[in-house]
Each structure stands twice: as structure tokens, then as C-alpha cells.
Amino acid sequence: MVALQGGSGYVRGVRYQNVRVDDVSNPIIIDQFYCDSPTPGQNQSSAVEISEIMYKNISGTSKSKNAMKFACSDTVPCSHIVLNNINLESRDGTVETYCNSAIGFGYGYVQPSAECLTSSDKEKIIKQEPELALCGMAGLAAGIPYI
């Protein structure tokens, strides 16, 4: 998921589930700094708001060192990112997770580790309701559907 710099609006309530990837460059990516110009422009302070994104049952191999990349804006951080049952590897060594201004958590098996995601919601969401922990979205209690 990429968003052009300087964009506006929001993306929320998206679930990626039961995905197998084979030797791809960016298996899991959120990038609010995306630029489609051949020459890099100046970083913009506005960004599309990205929240309530779940990755569940994602496995396979990555070409890039950062198998998971959450490059979010300091002014409009990504929030409520949930990872569950993630198994990404590399044919040529280890893979990592990159985070900038990304709020969320992983539970169950998550490889590579996503400790760089920051969250104060994890325990609260898991304790609130078992279904919320499975879906990872407090918004479901308010009737916000998945896309």
C-alpha cells in the first residue's frame, strides 16, 4: 500500500489475509513517502491517513532486506496496524522490519520481528473482546466493515 506524498483523505479497515509471496521486493509495505516522479521531490508534510490495517497469514520469500516496511509520516502516523501469523524469509540471509511513525502490534508468530511498531493498544484490544483480537480492529465493535 503506497500513498503519494502530499495526498489527503484516508485508507482504513483493510485486511490482507492468506497471501503467499515468492521472491517479491516488498511483501508487506505501507509507504506514505511514495513518489512517482523520476527525480525525488521534497518531502511533504501532509499525507493520506492510514489506519486499521491487518496482515494475517502472510508467508513467503522477500528479495529485499526489509520484508516489512512501514514508512509513515511524522505528522500523520499510520495507526492500528496488526500483524498475525507472518512468516517472511529471504533466500540470501535474514530479513528485517523497518518502521517510521507506525503504531500497531504483532501477535502469534511474526517473522521477522515487528518490535519497531509502537503500541499501547495491544493488551487493551486483546482483553476487550476475543473477536477484536482476532480481527485486530477496535472499529469492528462500532460496525466499521472490512474492505
Dump pLDDT digits (tens) for 87-138. 999 988 899 999 999 999 999 999 999 999 987 566 655 555 344 444 444 4
* Domain with 41 in it: 2-141
pTM of the model: 0.76
Q: What is the mean pLDDT of the chain?
A: 80
Residue 93 lies inside a defined structural domain of this protein: yes
Cα 12 to Cα 52: distance, rounded to the nearest angstrom = 5
**38: preceding bond cis by omega (within 30 degrees):** no
* Number of domains the chain is built from: 1
Cα gap 31→25, rounded to integer Å: 14
Q: Is residue 147 part of a domain?
A: no
User: So what's the pLDDT on residue 130?
Assistant: 45
- Give the pLDDT confidence of 54-101 residue by residue, as tens digits: 999 999 999 999 999 999 999 889 999 999 999 999 988 899 999 999
Q: Which residues contact 84 (CB under 8 A, 6 or more apart)?
A: 54, 55, 56, 57, 106, 107, 108, 110, 134, 136
Q: Is residue 118 part of a domain?
A: yes
The DSSP call for residue 93 is: B
